Amino acid sequence: MSEAALETQGLSMSFGALRVANDIDFRLEPGARHALIGPNGAGKTTFVNLVTGALQPSAGRIMLAGHDITRLAQAQRVKRGLVRTFQITALFRGLSVLENVTLAVGERHGVGGDMLRPSGSRRAVIAEAYALLERLGIADEALRPVKELAYGRQRLVEIAVALGLDPKVLLLDEPAAGVPSAESGTIIEMIERLPTGIAVLIIEHDMDLVFRLARRITVMVQGAVLVEGPPQEIAADPRVRQVYLGEREPA
Amino acid sequence: MTAETATPLAAAAVIDAFSRRHRLHWAEAIPWVLMVGAYFVFPDYLALGAQVLATILFGLSLDLILGYAGIVTLGHAAFFGTGAYVAGLLAAHGWGEPITGLLVAALAAAAVGFVSGAVVLRTQGLTLLMLTLVVATMLYEAANKATPITGGADGLGGMDVWPVLGFRFDLFGKVAYWYCGAALFASWIVARNIVHSPFGRSLTGIRENERRMHAIGSPVFWRRLAIYTIAAGMAGVAGALIAQTTAFVGLGVLSFDRSGAVLIMLILGGVGRLYGAFIGVPLYMILQDQFAEVDPVYWYFWIGLILVLVVVFAPGGAFGFADRLIRRLRRRAR
């Protein structure tokens, strides 16, 4: 069996009597396009927070490319290539688009703590950040504060910041959330064009997006994995239909 | 996609514009021109002027943590007071050389900042606010009880401050004025370099969105502790300047009043701009002087009223107000 890009074994977490993550075994293959779906409150975001280190699990292990990262701080996991985006856009709103990405690129190069030289003197870092903006088609707004951008474009900046960290595993938390459907096409295209070397896990509500992008789907319910498989199997699975019935239209 | 339409030329122009941000603007010379000018225009007020310059430095140090790192503190006087007492004790016990005194005071205050910061910066919001207050209050009470060392409520006297680089501190405050001005200028260069460095920008990132800074792999706690320590050292220099130029240290240097006043001064001037203290401190002192003349008992009430008006009608202080005024004028000119 080849080494997983990301793997969890028996991952569990409780808030008092409430089990928000229940013995989750999960595997993300190298280069995967994998979706994690489930009704509201299924524990998808908790899972992301556990994997990235924002929360500490009460039991279980998290492996990144074969290394145990369960006890590592959030920042150290990022340094090893485990990167996430946020469901609710989490950017530096008052700063320019270019600076948002420059901060991320600078941290990756280990110059984020430099006090001696002006940040503007690191042209290589800035040029790299700018090239990313070009790739995502938002270079024309490089010098505008993020808060002035349309929401759909802010979602692209959200992805640009993550890509600035050169991820090996990328967790996209509802990348198209809140974006009008006319614009969500750009975001889907963007995700489709991500390098195949990046293993991508998409946490999503939007079934169109999931079935268009994912080659494997995991369904979570009440903090546990209900079923996992390729899209056709998931779409046909009666248990999945049952879970989603009443919650939303079956996909 | 618009990616392909951006030419290399446009890219270079954008990157140039971005990397020029830290260059000096002519307006940044204004405070220093005023400082030199004031020496000649107000020769009778130089002693007061030295106090103003030292207090501006105190406000500048607060701006680094409040304006840039977004750490709200009610106990910044802890470091100011530490610097003042260390400089005072050195001068009272046989080492009156002012510049080394300043450096030792800075190190001591930075050490207090590092140790207390390592504890209080693990908390956030109201808890953090209260803990900064607690640290300052504890130091205040310690200085109050340690009468044999600090002189307690009577204050620390008997300081013998030696000449600075051969210039004896005079009654008119000429030497004190230049001494404080030089210290402020040097600290301003340090502060300006810091806020434009990647480290400084990452502090702004922490203020804007701490969660995202964690997510891009930034050691948020250490960054905050680093700037807290630096700002504490700078506040220590300010305290030491006041101690050395007045040859006296009273308990007031550690008081809540001192922490609160510098916060108000900075808010009046404008937070997170590096120059807020340069306007806020003189503004506060003028207001205080005017109000105390009209209403010697309740002048603090009027300061409070002004503060409320600023927060409600001119958020961003004097600088924020000027910003909006300029923007409006430009729009009208168009």
Strands A199-203 and A169-173: parallel
- Which residues, 6+ apart, have CB-to-CB distance to B258 below 8 Å? B77, B80, B81, B252
Gap between the Cα atoms of B82 and B233, Å rounded: 10
Phi-psi region of A41 (alpha: psi -120 to 50; beta: other; left: phi over 0): left
- Taking an 8 Å cut-off on Cβ atoms, the answer to whether B15 and A123 are in contact is yes
CA distance B328 to B333: 9
Across the interface, which of A112, A119, A134 has its CB nearest the CB of B3? A134
User: How far apart (Å, rounded) are the C-alpha atoms in residues A184 and A172?
Assistant: 14
- Quick one: pLDDT at residue B8? 67
pLDDT tens track for A66-106: 999 999 999 999 999 999 999 988 999 999 999 999 999 99
Name which of B18, B230, B273 to mutate to probe chain A: the one with the most chain A Cβ atoms within 10 A of its Cβ.
B18
For A113, nearest residue in chain B (alpha carbons): B199
Residue whose token pair is 């974006």 = A179
**B79 touches B208 (CB < 8 A):** no
Tokens linked to A101: 């990405």
Q: What integer pLDDT is reported at residue A1 of this predicted model?
A: 54
Q: How far apart are CA A111 and CA B197, in angstroms?
A: 10
Structure tokens at B84: 């003042």
Residue B92 has which token pair?
């009272």
Render pLDDT for B197-233 as a digit per residue (tens, 0 to 9): 999 999 999 999 999 999 999 999 999 999 999 999 9
ipTM of the complex: 0.90
SS (H, E, C) A78-109: HHCCEEECCCCCCCCCCCEHHHHHHHHHHHHC
Interchain contact, A114 vs B18, CB within 8 Å: no
Q: CA-nearest residue of chain A to B221?
A: A75
**pTM for the full predicted model:** 0.93
The distance in angstroms from the start CA to the end CA of chain A is 33
- A167's CB contacts (< 8 A; 6+ apart) are A81, A82, A83, A198
DSSP state of B316: T
Q: Alpha-carbon distance B305 to B240, whole Å?
A: 32
List, for residues A131-142, the tens digit of each pLDDT value.
999 999 999 999
Of B2, B215, B222, the CB nearest to A78: B215
Whether the CB-CB separation of B65 and B231 falls below 8 Å is answered with yes
Q: How confident is the model at residue B7 (pLDDT cuts 50, 70, 90)?
A: low
Residue B173 lies inside a defined structural domain of this protein: yes
DSSP H helices, chain B, are 8-19, 30-41, 46-63, 77-92, 98-120, 125-145, 147-150, 174-196, 198-208, 210-215, 220-246, 256-269, 276-294, 299-313, 317-333
Which residues, at least 6 apart from A244, have a Cβ–Cβ distance to it below 8 Å? A39, A250, A251
- Would you say residue B142 lies in a domain? yes
Q: Quick one: pLDDT at residue B318? A: 92
Angle between helices B8-19 and A123-136 (to 10 degrees): 130
pLDDT at B144 over 70: yes
Residue B77, amino acid? A
Burial of A94 (0-12, 13-18, 19+ CB in 10 A): middle
How many domains would you assign to chain B?
1
Tell whether the model's pLDDT for residue B128 goes beyond 90. yes
The whole-angstrom separation of Cα A180 and Cα A154 is: 13
Q: Do the domain assignments include residue B55?
A: yes
CA end-to-end span of chain B: 33
List the domain boundaries for chain A. 6-93+166-244
Q: Which of B64, B68, B197 should one mutate to test binding to chain A, selecting the residue with the greatest count of A CBs within 10 A?
A: B197
Which structural domain range is residue B187 located in?
35-255
What is the predicted pLDDT for the residue at A245?
A: 62
Alpha-carbon distance B229 to B119, whole Å? 12
Q: How far apart are CA B106 and CA A207, in angstroms?
A: 60
As a whole number of angstroms, the distance between CA B134 and CA B136 comes to: 5
Question: A49: Cβ–Cβ under 8 A, 6 or more apart, which residues?
Answer: A55
Q: Are B224 and B69 in contact (CB under 8 A)?
A: yes
B167 forms beta bridges with B164
Q: Note the pLDDT of residue A41.
A: 84
Residue the block writes with tokens 């680094």: B64
Establish if B272 belongs to a structural domain: no
Residues 140-199 of A with CB under 8 A from B: 140, 142-143, 161, 164-165
Residue B34 has pLDDT above 60, yes or no: yes
**A78: amino acid identity, one letter:** V
Q: Is B288 exposed, middle or buried (0-12, 13-18, 19+ CB in 10 A)?
A: middle
Residue-level pLDDT at A206: 80
Out of A83, A91, A113, the one facing B223 most closely (by C-beta) is A113
Residue B10 in any domain: the answer is no
Q: Is the pLDDT of residue B1 over 60?
A: no
- Under 8 Å between Cβ of B241 and B178: no
Whether B267 is covered by a domain: the verdict is no
- Does residue B282 surpass a pLDDT of 50? yes
Tell me the CATH class for A6-93+166-244. Answer: alpha beta
Q: Does A104 contact B209 at a Cβ distance shorter than 8 Å? A: no
B17 contacts in chain A (CB < 8 Å):
143
Instruction: Show Cβ contacts of residue A38 under 8 Å, excluding neighbours closer than 6 positions.
Output: A44, A219, A220, A221, A226, A243
The answer to whether residues B180 and B245 touch, using CB atoms and an 8 Å cutoff, is yes
Residue-level length of chain A: 251
CB A80 within 8 A of CB A108: no
How does pLDDT run along chain A (251 residues), one tens digit per residue?
578 999 999 999 998 888 899 999 999 999 999 999 998 888 999 999 999 999 999 999 999 999 999 999 999 999 999 999 999 889 999 999 999 999 999 999 999 999 999 999 999 999 999 999 999 999 999 999 999 999 999 999 999 999 999 999 999 999 988 888 888 888 999 999 999 999 999 998 888 889 999 999 999 999 999 999 999 999 899 998 888 764 554 44
Amino acid identity at B292: A
Measure the CA dihedral A188/A6/A73/B67, to 10°.
Answer: -10
B220-246 and B198-208 are packed helices; what angle lies between their axes, rounded to 10 degrees? 110
pLDDT of residue B4: 47
Question: Residue A96: left (phi > 0), alpha (psi -120 to 50), or beta?
Answer: beta
CB B144 within 8 Å of CB B251: yes
The whole-number average pLDDT for the span B275-303 is 92
